[in-house]
Amino acid sequence: MSADYVLETRNLVKEFKGFTAVDDVNLKVERGTIHALIGPNGAGKTTVFNLLTKFLTPSRGTILYNGADITSMKSAAIARKGIVRSFQISAVFPHLSVMENVRIALQRKEGNSFHFWKSVKVLDKLNERAYELLDEVGLKDYANALTVDLPYGRKRALEIATTLALDPEMLLLDEPTQGMGHEDVSVVADLIKKVSANRTILMVEHNLHVVAQLADTITVLQRGAILTEGDYETVSQDPQVREAYMGVEADDEVAQAIAAANVAEKANAAKGGTE
């Protein structure tokens, strides 16, 4: 495997009682990029995520991370290696404060999550790093707020903060903008771009505007197999993608998404590319 790729799958297959959900997928994720998986409902995107993070065991095939075979590893071992995943539904503790959520994630990294006999004061040393993470995702002013009271978009930002607390090399984001209004989508998209610095991100995303704005490489899945791959403009012009993924509204959707990407690119250029 080339050193340029942080994650690779070789002939990855997942079968469920004769049904092939993932069919001979050869995926390569380049280090330091944002890579998107898109496709129609039932295309196998979340199943691929579950295989990569070992919530499911492949029927056949190999998964490589930094050149090492991780196919037989458990999900906890994968996370310790530096692959951390978010889920479609925000996974935070709603009745704890924002700060407490981040401190729990930091505590897990330190390996003392089950030291129940220790004083809570031992966690105070984590406060500085917790504030740094909250500041990174725009939540520092909400540190003492109850998580349940946060708007949905900020809950997703908090979930990203808790994943960053594990100091991952690679983030797997499953539908990070699902169920959000336009304003929250923009906030989370900007946040993903910000936290991608010095990290690799693989994401499943249904919002084509977000994909156009963020993704360096896009892999399109159909019926569990890779249909095509490339940058957004290349993928969006592929006739097979238009037919299989976008349907009759492809022209308008593609045009709008490419326009959004161009606007974002021009805005970044005007700021000197310092996002």
CATH number at residue 177: 3.40.50.300
Q: Are residues 265 and 250 in the same domain?
A: yes
Is 32 part of a structural domain of the chain?
yes
Q: Which residue has the higher pLDDT, 86 or 96?
A: 96
Dihedral sign from CA coordinates of 206, 44, 25, 164: positive
Q: Which pLDDT score, from 0 to 100, does residue 115 have?
A: 47
Residue 149 lies in a domain: yes
Do 101 and 61 sit in the same domain of this protein?
Answer: no
Q: What is the percent of the chain with per-residue pLDDT over 90, rounded to a whole number?
A: 43
Q: Is the torsion defined by CA of 71, 45, 225, 236 positive or negative?
A: negative
pLDDT in tens, 117-159: 454 555 677 888 999 999 989 899 999 999 999 988 888 889 8
CA atoms 48, 201, 199, 98: torsion sign? negative
Question: If pLDDT is split at 50, 70 and 90, which confidence band does 110 have?
Answer: low
- Please list, in sequence order, all residues whose beta carbon lies within 8 angstroms of the beta carbon of residue 8, skipping any fewer than 6 positions away: 1, 26, 27, 28, 29, 63, 64
Tokens of 246: 């976008």
Pairwise CA distance, residues 138 & 192, whole Å: 12
pLDDT at 61: 97
Q: pLDDT-based confidence at 254, cuts 50/70/90?
A: very low
pLDDT average, residue stretch 192-207: 91
Of 167, 186, 215, which closes a domain?
167
pLDDT tier at 252 (50, 70, 90 boundaries)?
very low
